[in-house]
Chains A and B, each alone.
Chain A
Amino acid sequence: DVKVTQSSRYLVKRTGEKVFLECVQDMDHENMFWYRQDPGLGLRLIYFSYDVKMKEKGDIPEGYSVSREKKERFSLILESASTNQTSMYLCASSFLLNYGYTFGSGTRLTVV
């Protein structure tokens, strides 16, 4: 089975800190995605990548950046964490766009 591993389950960071969320997949998938999940708002796409060193903005990219230096790793960066970035962050990968995404277990980030 494809595994998507997110490095942390829970994180607490201070306002203004630079935060790195790491995601690694082990099935050679081309596509990787970062979502945030908030109650009542569903899954919102932050950034995605279809290939190494490629990145594109999703629906809510403000305040975030990403890095994909290797095919298996897709990192989400909060340049200067703010309290409104407190959320559950989910990473996903897929073989093709119209194949099922595999999600990681999520990172619950709290910014204080």
Chain B
Amino acid sequence: GENVEQHPSTLSVQEGDSAVIKCTYSDSASNYFPWYKQELGKGPQLIIDIRSNVGEKKDQRIAVTLNKTAKHFSLHITETQPEDSAVYFCAASNGRYGGSQGNLIFGKGTKLSVKP
């Protein structure tokens, strides 16, 4: 089955710097890659996603890149702000119904701290 590995587990940056979180996946059939942000005491919230027919997607200060050949995808946050401090999760899915194979498989999370 799919396995998603996420690095680093913790990341500390200065306000205004960029932050990059990387994930690798094992199932070449995976075609959907969302990223979630979880603030303290809240549930994870979808912040950006990318599908396998696209190599890069941007939304203001957030971007995601996908390298299908290498089976890795990354989250890039530019001009970080203290409110970006949170735990970020990557995930991958092949979307196939039948057992649990098509469910999202999550990485273990990255705790991002942005220091003012």
Which residue on chain B has the smallest CB distance to residue A103? B43
Q: How far is the CA of A57 from the CA of B99 in the complex (A)?
A: 9
Say whether B89 contacts A42, CB under 8 Å. Answer: yes
Using known A-B contacts A40-B108, A41-B108, A43-B89, determine if residue A97 contacts B103 with beta carbons closer than 8 Å: yes
Q: How far is the CA of A90 from the CA of B36 in the complex (A)?
A: 14
Q: Which residues of the other chain, A, contact B46 by a CB distance below 8 angstroms? A: 100-102
Q: Which residues of the other chain, B, contact A58 by a CB distance below 8 angstroms? A: 100, 103
* CB of B8 closer than 8 Å to a CB of A: no
With most chain A CB atoms within 10 A of its CB, the pick from B32, B44, B96 is: B44
Say whether A98 contacts B45, CB under 8 Å. Answer: no
* CB of B94 closer than 8 Å to a CB of A: yes
Q: How far is the CA of A50 from the CA of B45 in the complex (A)?
A: 21
Say whether A33 contacts B103, CB under 8 Å. Answer: yes
* CB of B42 closer than 8 Å to a CB of A: yes
Say whether A45 contacts B103, CB under 8 Å. Answer: yes
Say whether A56 contacts B99, CB under 8 Å. Answer: yes
* CB of A96 closer than 8 Å to a CB of B: yes
Which residue on chain A has the smallest CB distance to residue B94? A98
* CB of B25 closer than 8 Å to a CB of A: no
Q: How far is the CA of A96 from the CA of B93 in the complex (A)?
A: 11
Which residue on chain A has the smallest CB distance to residue B44? A103
Say whether B31 contacts A103, CB under 8 Å. Answer: no
Interface hits, B80-116 → A, CB 8 Å: 89, 93-97, 99-100, 102-104, 106-109
Q: Point out residues on A near B: beta carbons under 8 Å.
A: 4, 33, 40-43, 45, 48, 50, 56-59, 90, 92, 96-106
5 tightest Cβ-Cβ pairs between the two chains A and B? A98-B95, A103-B43, A98-B32, A42-B108, A100-B46
**A96-B95, A103-B44 are known contacts; what are 15 more A-B pairs with Cβ within 8 Å?**
A4-B43, A41-B108, A42-B106, A43-B89, A50-B97, A58-B103, A90-B43, A97-B95, A97-B97, A98-B94, A100-B34, A100-B46, A103-B36, A103-B45, A106-B41
